Structure 1
Amino acid sequence: MDLNPDRRGDAAELIREETKVKCVVWDLDQTIWDGILLEDKRVTLRGEVLEVIRKLDERGILQSIASKNDADAAMAKLEELGIQEYFLYPQISWGSKSEAIKNIASLININPNTIAFIDDQPFEREEVEFSLPQVRCIAAEDMNLILERADMTPRFITEDSQLRRSMYMTDRVRKEEEQHFSGTKEEFLATLNMVFGIYPAGEGDLQRAEELTLRTHQLNATGYTYSYQELDEFRKSDRHRLWVSELEDKYGTYGKIGIALVECSEEVWTLKLLLMSCRVMSRGVGSIMLNFIMNEAHKSGCKLWAEFVENSVNRMMYITYKFAGFQEVGKNGDILILENDLTSIQPFPDYVKVTCSE
């Protein structure tokens, strides 16, 4: 297999995978349940809906609600039906469905082009299609086809996939605590008892590693995507280092949240891929990962370069590189080459325990 990390996921399978749905947004009346709640409080779940909701959840696809309804009554009915726990940030009001979906995308921190919307009313689907043409709109009558759709069938169902909803729910608790915390950012982070682990990727990490390259855009320095097979070759290669990182705190695990791929020569290490899950954007772990790699390069006696490919959403990664002391030294097409002279490697912050293994 070609081990050139400049390949940007050119396999058709990976291109298709990048278009997968990350969140399904449901209407309620005549969609999740038969009937209209405000007219009949005895509404019942549609026959196939529970299986669809559970299967999507098992696949790691998040779910939410966009419904024109009385919020208290609708939430009470969802709880009565035993399905309230499946829905993140439900938007139940008399506003437009498109605004509800925008709010959900913002709260979950995903692009609307990874959202599918299910509604029984053609008018509501057309309103969303007009305002958010990137959202996939599905008629409620086609619900029985959802589980067969390619864009809702991931290549792998990883442990992180199966835990995704619960991890997002835990993130919500963290955010609420942070909003009510009166100290500094660093003081709040110190209360979390974070443990950040960095270790060489093993075979068991590769499915999640592929998933991260496909799902992560904002905190991805190059946007490169790699298949399981490519990552496995890098893992075995003497010319590459492939690290995986994970994070946990007092609330539980964030799962495997980062990858770094370095191409090694006798004189230069080149950081080809650095990415972190967007769920850890505010935890400062991108800088910790960079400092770890800087230390490793310094111990090897090599220069450290990094590639950066700017896109519309990953400016934060460029800022992370600059804060870590990287400077622009060249350009190869749209690839910006950065270099760190390794003279100002920072210690890991006190608010997180960092564990590294070989």
Structure 2
Amino acid sequence: MSEKKIKVLIWDLDNTVWDGVLLEDKSVTLRAGVADVIKELDRRGILQSIASKNAHDDAMEKLKEFGLDQYFIYPQINWSSKAESVGIITQSINVGIDTIAFIDDQPFEREEVAFTHKEVLCLEETELDKLLDRDEFMPRFVTSDSKNRRAMYQSDITRNKLEEDFTGPTEEFLATLNLEMTITPATDDDLQRAEELTQRTHQLNTTGYTYTYDELRKFIESDEHDLLIASLNDKYGTYGKIGVCLIERNQTYWNVKLLLMSCRVMSRGVGTIMINHIISEASKAGVTLRAEFIQTDRNRMMFITYRLGNFEILKQEDNRYVLENDCTNVAKLPPYISLNVIKGKSKQECEVESEMA
């Protein structure tokens, strides 16, 4: 199977989504099978957008007529180059360009996108019939978060627009969201999403390690490991399960083997909150805290987060670091968020601690 997995499919419209050219004929008809492809990709958690040279309002009205307008986020329907539109969509969704696919009936448009964005998978419209069977469009698991991914991104668009219009410090805006973060030991029900996060998350990932479902299951059964899952909600709904942390424990220190957070929550400060929670727990246990970090071309932000969290460099070999925190300085929870911590490795052992600012 192909290791490349597509996170976003960007559609052309004329003679791709529908048969005909909208500017020439307002009665274009939906291409056979397109609706089924769009809805199935959405169910699998693959986001979709549009790069089309068209009149924006007319094209969106036609998509609405076909009952498909809600499936596309950050649509670029204008007279700009398709390569420029692909770049804007990629930046807006905040994913790697190597996770983008683009489908268009025009060879020139595909060649222009391929020349500008060499890692984009460019497809002809004739490949639509077999698209759902391609490995790149077949995630290993379809989780509840996958099925809700588009809705969560659409909620993000609402939040981001409100934040752009907000005048005042960022923390004052965050306080209006009623943010609530939950940290809980992973259960069997979480492992598919945890594997998905290790595969999909690159920017806010401290090591780049990926783990399979079976590997993660061994960690939750181990007495020497803690596998934690973080989720986030606010008044606009859920962000879903947005973070994973793997801790290896011994008598003198704990070692953070992996810490990752979804890029969608980068501006919410949840990575720092998770780190401070682990520091607090290590302090209560009377141990120091170490963390592995492997530098990549995308994850510098996580190294900065560790360093701002009072982690010192204990050892460095090329791009590999071991960091250490003596756990003598535990930061307070930011005033804009509440934190629920669920402890215990089984449902019977779980207890809830709530911390309000």
TM-score normalised to the size of structure 1? 0.94
Pair 1:177-2:167 in alignment: no
Q: Which runs of 5+ in 1 are unaligned?
A: 1-12
In the other structure, the counterpart of 2:228 is: 243
Residue among 124, 127, 137 paired with 1:139: 124
Q: Supply the distance in 2 between the matched residues of 1:199 and 1:347 (Cα, whole angstroms).
A: 19
Of 258, 261, 284, the residue aligned with 2:269 is: 284
**Partner deviation per Cα, 1:25-76 (whole Å, 9 max, x = no partner):** 0000000000000110000110110000000000000000000111121111
Distance 2:299 2:318 in 1: 18
Aligned counterparts, 1:209-224, within 5 A: 209-224=194-209
RMSD: 0.9
Amino acid at match of 1:322: R
SS, match of residue 132 in structure 2? helix
Matched, 1:20 2:1: no
The answer on 1:299 being equivalent to 2:284 is yes
- In the aligned structure 1, how far is the partner of 2:117 from the partner of 2:154? 26
Higher relative contact order (CA 8 A, sep 6+): 1
Equivalent of 2:219 in 209, 234, 237: 234
Please list the CA deviations of residues 213-239 of structure 1 after superposition, one character each: whole Å capped at 9, or x if unmatched. Answer: 000001001110000000000111011
Partner of 1:101: 86
Q: Distance in 2 between matches of 1:171 and 1:334?
A: 33
1:306-358 superposed Cα distances (whole Å, 9 cap, x missing partner): 01111111111011111111111112453201111111110111110100011
Moved more, 34-43 or 122-131: 122-131
1:74 to 47, 56, 59: 59
- 1:324 aligned onto 2:309: yes
1:81 Cα deviation from its structure 2 partner: 1.2
Match of 2:147 in 1: 162
- For the residues of structure 2 that align with 1:294 and 1:309, how far apart are their CA atoms? 20
Q: Could you give the per-residue CA deviations for residues 63-98 of structure 1, whole angstroms, max 9, x where no partner exists?
A: 000001111211111111110000001001111111
- 2:28 maps to which of 43, 52, 56: 43
Q: Which AA in structure 2 matches 1:83?
A: L
C-alpha contact (below 8 Å) 2:283/2:328 kept by paired residues: no
Alpha-carbon distance in structure 2 between the residues aligned to 1:111 and 1:216: 10
1: CA distance between counterparts of 2:135 and 2:83? 24
Task: Report how far residue 145 of structure 1 moved.
Answer: 0.7
User: Equivalents in 1 of 2:57, 2:152: separation in Å?
Assistant: 25
Instruction: Measure, in 2, the Cα distance between the counterparts of 1:177 and 1:207.
Output: 33
Q: Please state if 1:202 is matched with 2:187.
A: yes
- Determine the C-alpha separation between the residues in 1 that align with 2:284 and 2:242: 25
Shift of 1:301: 1.3
CA distance in 2, matches of 1:188, 1:174: 10
* Structure 2 partner of 1:339: 324
Distance in 2, matches of 1:91 and 1:262, equals 42
Structure 2 unaligned residues grouped into runs of 5+: 344-357
Distance between the aligned counterparts of 2:235 and 2:307, measured in 1?
31
Identity %: 54
1:266 deviation in Å? 1.2
Identify the residue that residue 55 of structure 1 maps to in structure 2: 40
Which consecutive segments of 4 or more residues in structure 1 shift more than 3 A? none
Provide the C-alpha distance between the structure 2 equivalents of 1:343 and 1:266, rounded to a whole number of angstroms.
17
User: In structure 2, what residue type is equivalent to 1:321?
Assistant: Y
* CA-to-aligned-CA distance 1:108-161 (integer Å, 9 cap, x gap): 001111011010011111111111110001100110010000010000000000
TM-score, normalization: structure 2? 0.95
- Residue type of the alignment partner of 2:115: F
Match of 1:257 among 242, 245, 254: 242
Partner amino acid, structure 1, of 2:87: K
Q: Which residue of 1 aligns with 2:353?
A: none
Structure 2: distance between partners of 1:280 and 1:220: 13
Residue 211 of structure 1 deviates from its aligned partner by 0.2
Q: Distance in 1 between matches of 2:334 and 2:110?
A: 48
Aligned length: 343
2:252 equivalent to 1:267: yes
